[in-house]
Structure 1
């Protein structure tokens, strides 16, 4: 394992500059064993406030579980641009994300964050690989996640399957109208300024006819809708990203209470699934 220890969270601007020019493609079914960690990280209150506003969370003294993803995201980018990593960052597809939060995390807490390249899987459309992230406060594990990303083979789509004709989406509990600048607003608070999320002309450069919403915005908005149900309980929230959410658009959110927690969906007004997920109590 090649492990880097940083003195502070790296600059996303610098990392994106490196990502824009990096080329590469996995030659086999494995990736190098790499990790990176940083201690003494504290959330920026103004960023937290802006993030909560964009994603629909109430303003409070604890951090949304999905905010901890964007706090640790620069470490994923650090690994992606690493010289030993044979993957081109541009064009990667985020396909799944699992978060476990063991207790609420306060805005003022000092955090230790560690990110590691995890398991890899050869699939029909390319190579899937995981980023495993852990966060501790005062030596206590408080949060962890597994983000699964797809490096596509040339000519292969992401593999999302459309809703079968015999499937009927549930009645929505809520309907949300997403504005055309949502990708730019979320990009400003998260640091994720991938061109596919920003403007029609930048999205078209990567094959999208309109900008698309960030997958982690969609997950965060669903989590905000479930916040009163979750409260301060330890929980996990798993999602699978199905199809892009084009901007602007209206989307439907539905939830169903189950024995283990809550199942939920995000889908278009025409019934096309964008995201499916589950909240489970730990």
Structure 2
């Protein structure tokens, strides 16, 4: 396979491929995941299913209205190019299908979304027929349980066009081989910078994003549903916040090929006001290590974004957008 970015994960050789006739619907998957979560409790080491789900032909020509609604909600300019956030939405049901398998050892309910790393290697345009793949890999120790990567890919004519790696945490579980948790980097001292934008998010934000993403998890769409999981009220989808920041960087500045990352700290409560700062740095990889803005030899510049509760020092998320 050509067009794979250096450092992009590949499915382990031991994994088999299971072909599905079409992308599944999230509603049915979520119902299955809720039902199956009750029986998935910590009991021995976590072993992931060695399978890649694949839908060989997904015709995007019928996605015009869906794409337009997504672009409008997130603030992306009108275009026939599918931004990384929309490609995440397109492939997410297939990754979810992996997570609700009977032999997937972690419960869908209660999984904590920690971070995302996505790369667009070439533009995907409305009307192209694509291949979508998804699998789970790298179950590893976290101080509060096990974290696992769900990898989703979109290919055009056999070439990798998009890859997204979503990292989730399942609390209380044990990593394979009883591995000790990886040493976590200490959280650096952080002071809110001058905001470049202020988002006033209404109580219906979760329902609006749920309508375009298909993710109708009640923690995002209902105060009662959110309270059942310990939140004071509904919370915004993490990928809504990340995709809106990506939109504010804009297509011209991120280019046709780019890397987009996000790390989540605290949920954004709805309704709420989020201050956002987007700034250019000469060394994206140094952000968070105390060296932001100091260029290393061969460093790659790009944009860094932070989001925090308006008027407070409560940091909700941070991420990067870097042209490739």
Which TM-score applies when normalising by structure 2?
Answer: 0.81
Please state whether the residue corresponding to 2:267 is helix, strand or coil.
coil
Please state whether the residue corresponding to 1:22 is helix, strand or coil.
helix
Q: Equivalents in 1 of 2:46, 2:32: separation in Å?
A: 24
Q: Equivalents in 2 of 1:224, 1:99: separation in Å?
A: 14
Whether the 8 Å contact between 2:199 and 2:275 is mirrored in structure 1 is yes
Q: CA shift at 1:228, angstroms?
A: 4.3
2:240 is the counterpart of 1:217 = yes
Q: CA shift at 1:201, angstroms?
A: 1.0
Q: Deviations over 1:56-106 (max 9, x none)?
A: 111211111110001001111111111111111111111110000012210
Question: Larger radius of gyration, structure 1 or 2?
Answer: 2
Unaligned residue ranges in structure 1 (runs of 5+): 155-160
One of 193, 202, 207 as aligned partner of 1:170: 193
Q: Runs of 4+ in structure 1 displaced over 6 angstroms?
A: none
Aligned to 1:268: 309
The Cα RMSD (Å) is: 1.9
Q: Equivalents in 2 of 1:97, 1:42: separation in Å?
A: 26
Q: Equivalents in 2 of 1:175, 1:266: separation in Å?
A: 9
Q: Deviations over 1:16-67 (max 9, x none)?
A: 1211110313531442322201022133111111111221111211111110
2:167 is the counterpart of 1:126 = no
Unaligned residue ranges in structure 2 (runs of 5+): 1-14, 174-184, 283-300
Q: Equivalents in 2 of 1:7, 1:228: separation in Å?
A: 33
2:185 is the counterpart of 1:143 = no
Q: Equivalents in 2 of 1:203, 1:150: separation in Å?
A: 18
Aligned pair count? 275
Q: Deviations over 1:213-268 (max 9, x none)?
A: 00000110000000145353311011101100000011011122112211111111
One of 2, 5, 11 as aligned partner of 2:25: 11
List aligned pairs for 1:223-238, cutoff 5 A: 223-238=246-261
Please state whether the residue corresponding to 1:108 is helix, strand or coil.
coil
Which TM-score applies when normalising by structure 1?
Answer: 0.92
Please state whether the residue corresponding to 2:76 is helix, strand or coil.
coil
Please state whether the residue corresponding to 2:191 is helix, strand or coil.
coil
One of 77, 83, 88 as aligned partner of 2:96: 77
One of 91, 95, 99 as aligned partner of 2:118: 99
Q: Deviations over 1:117-144 (max 9, x none)?
A: 1111111111100011221111121111
Q: Equivalents in 2 of 1:219, 1:167: separation in Å?
A: 19
2:260 is the counterpart of 1:244 = no
Q: Equivalents in 1 of 2:128, 2:32: separation in Å?
A: 31
Q: Equivalents in 2 of 1:14, 1:194: separation in Å?
A: 12
Q: Equivalents in 2 of 1:231, 1:151: separation in Å?
A: 33
2:241 is the counterpart of 1:200 = no
Q: CA shift at 1:188, angstroms?
A: 1.1
Please state whether the residue corresponding to 2:192 is helix, strand or coil.
coil
Whether the 8 Å contact between 1:103 and 1:232 is mirrored in structure 2 is no
Whether the 8 Å contact between 2:75 and 2:247 is mirrored in structure 1 is yes
Greater fraction strand = 1
Q: Equivalents in 2 of 1:32, 1:78: separation in Å?
A: 12
One of 105, 108, 111 as aligned partner of 2:130: 111
